[in-house]
Structure 1
Amino acid sequence: MRADLVPDDLWERVAPLLPPAPERRQRYPGRLRVPDRAALAGVMYVLRTGVAWRDVPSEAVGCSGVTAWRRLRDWTEAGVWPRLHAALLSELRRASLLGLDDCSVDGSHVRALKGGDQVGPSPVDRARPGSKHHLIVDRYGTPLAVTLTGGNRHDVTQLLPLLEAVPPIRGLPGRPRHKPRRVYADRGYDFDKYRRLLWKRGVKPLIARRGAAHGSGLGKVRWVVERTFAWLHQFKLIRVRYERRADLHVGLLQLACSIICLRRLHASR
């Protein structure tokens, strides 16, 4: 197994969250179960390179692509990735590396070459099948939550679901944080109805107005969400959507967000 695919600090955080391996009915005959760390290495290899699961080099990775996909499916259904992401966010807050008062939201189109759930005609890609990644980040660009919709869904429809998707972030004494004080967004979110809904939740909306001249200054804060999208799309498997199952694609997005959080922890040391 390539050690660079699953470093020790990542494995130490993932291992306690994995469901126990099923008991074998008989000891012999049969092949031994592939270790979970090798299966995670297979998932990480595909996430980084974007190769088809069948093309994973099992000799180098230590796991076949089919086994890695099946383990990804099982771990996604067990809810491993959102718990990993929430645990890393708590670590960041404990280290005073989260700026939860100011958050930014945005959406990004990706092609969905094989169709599947949460796919629709993309208005920015000649109505080809596509999906949208919707992201909320803190003031430093740390991903707090990500959702998936069809490519024809408007960004503003995911504004409230994004806020609700932010997990309770622990790490300090007192109640866990689960919502920002201010939300920054571009003109695509310019609807007074949603401003009122944000105010009702105790969140101040700072959203650019359509038709107003550029230069409001909001871009000085919300540019971090564009940078985080660039970080996410460095993982080639989610730059273009190949997974037909929406839950698996969201699981890969959450795993990529967790890796970005782990990199931020490393950078602070």
Structure 2
Amino acid sequence: MSADLVPDDLWERIVPLLPPRRSRRYRNPGRLPVPDRVALAGIVYVLRKGVAWRDVPAQVVGCSGVTRWRRLRDWTEAGVWPRLHNALLGALRAWGLLAMDDTAMDGSHVRALKGGDPVGPSPVDRARPGSKHHVIVDQHGTPLAVLVTGGNRHDVTQLIPLLEGIPRMRGLRGRPRNRPKRLYADRGYDFDKYRRLLWARGIKPVIARRGVAHGSGLGRTRWLVERTFAWLHQFKRLRIRYERRADLHQGLLELACGIICLRRLRKAF
């Protein structure tokens, strides 16, 4: 079952990124640690099914919920998930599967049942505590960068952080690229200040105007980011935020982005 949850191509890309284990120099060091692949299978199972850490069936993944959570914590603090996402984006670019000329961004609310930080009163859920997923995607819907904020943060406040969060991707001859040519967004991003900031970075803003009747035609481009949210929320652990620690929820979000990128690589061959 571990091989089904963690296929060989995913495991081969994660292994070089994992932090080294501590050496076992004592005469009686105790039980051997759970293999990393088994622990990773437990993390992926929780990410996909949305169950509690302790509720993963033992016959599916043979380790405890505490072990899975600790590996997620340690690997998140070691920066494994963003490096995995960046490596897969570079592989997509090397094979010509990344189209960064046109990008789109948006935000999506999720409930935060256990609180934590950052969490805020959601304006679309009767002020219940929640968070927001912010994502920027390319022309194929491939997630380039993701962020987690409080549910009361305005989408436009994450426009520049998302752009700066796009990694410098190699894979082709020349300079690494991390800047699109055009950015598509809805009326929530309609602020002249941010338009000027985009132009200063050499990015053309294509943002719908508030107070203008619908029919701008931007939906033909922006629907890709909505589809990406649907992909992300197929991972049931991301539909509702259960992690009090924002870095762990961000880590699960980046792991899901890496799996989405890997699926796109598989379809190309």
Q: Is TM-score (shorter-chain normalized) higher than 0.5?
A: yes
Question: 2:197 is matched with which residue?
Answer: 197
Q: Secondary structure at the match of 2:70?
A: helix
Q: 5 Å matches for 1:112-191?
A: 112-191=112-191
Once the two structures are overlaid, the 10-residue window that deviates more, 143-152 or 213-222, is 213-222
- Using the TM superposition, give the Cα deviation of residue 24 of structure 1 relative to its aligned residue in structure 2, in angstroms: 2.1
CA apart distance, 1:31: 1.0
SS of structure 2 residue aligned to 1:184: strand
State the AA in 1 paired with 2:128: R
1:163-184: CA deviation from partner (whole Å, max 9, x where unpaired): 0000011100110111101000
CA offsets, 1:88-114, max 9 Å, x none?
000000110011000000000000000
Which residue is 1:33 aligned to?
A: 33
Task: Report if the CA contact (8 A) 2:2-2:37 is conserved.
Answer: no
Per-residue CA deviation, residues 192-235 of structure 1 (Å, 9 max, x unaligned), is 11000100111110000011111111111111000000000000
Counterpart AA for 1:167: P
Residue correspondence of structure 1 range 69-88 to structure 2 within 5 A: 69-88=69-88
User: Displaced runs of 4+ in structure 1, greater than 6 A?
Assistant: none
Question: Which one-letter code corresponds to 2:62 in the other structure?
Answer: G
Task: Please state whether the residue corresponding to 2:92 is helix, strand or coil.
Answer: helix
CA contact (8 A) 1:168 1:178 kept: yes
- Counterpart in the other structure of 1:244: 244
Name the amino acid aligned to 1:166. Answer: I
Distance 1:148 1:30 in 2: 39
Q: Paired residue for 1:13?
A: 13
Deviations 1:121-154 (A, max 9, x none): 0000000000000000001100000001100000
Give the conservation status (yes or no) of the 8 Å contact 2:232–2:257.
yes
TM-score, normalised relative to structure 2: 0.98
What SS class does the counterpart of residue 59 from structure 1 fall into? coil
**What's the RMSD between the two structures over aligned residues?**
0.9
In structure 2, how many angstroms separate the alpha carbons of the residues matched to 1:109 and 1:29? 46
Structure 2 unaligned runs (5+)?
none
Tell me the matched-pair count.
269
**Is 78-87 or 18-27 further displaced after alignment?**
18-27
State, as a whole percentage, how many aligned pairs show the same letter.
77
2:103 corresponds to which residue?
A: 103
Using the TM superposition, give the Cα deviation of residue 28 of structure 1 relative to its aligned residue in structure 2, in angstroms.
2.2
| Of 55-64 and 219-228, the range deviating more from structure 2 | 55-64
SS at the partner of 1:104?
strand
Which residue of the partner structure matches residue 231 of structure 1? 231
Distance in 2 separating the partners of 1:77 and 1:247: 8
* CA 1:77–1:29: 2 relative to 1, 3 Å: closer
Residues 6-52 of structure 1: CA distance to partner in whole angstroms, max 9, x if unpaired? 00000000000000011224242511100110110010010001111
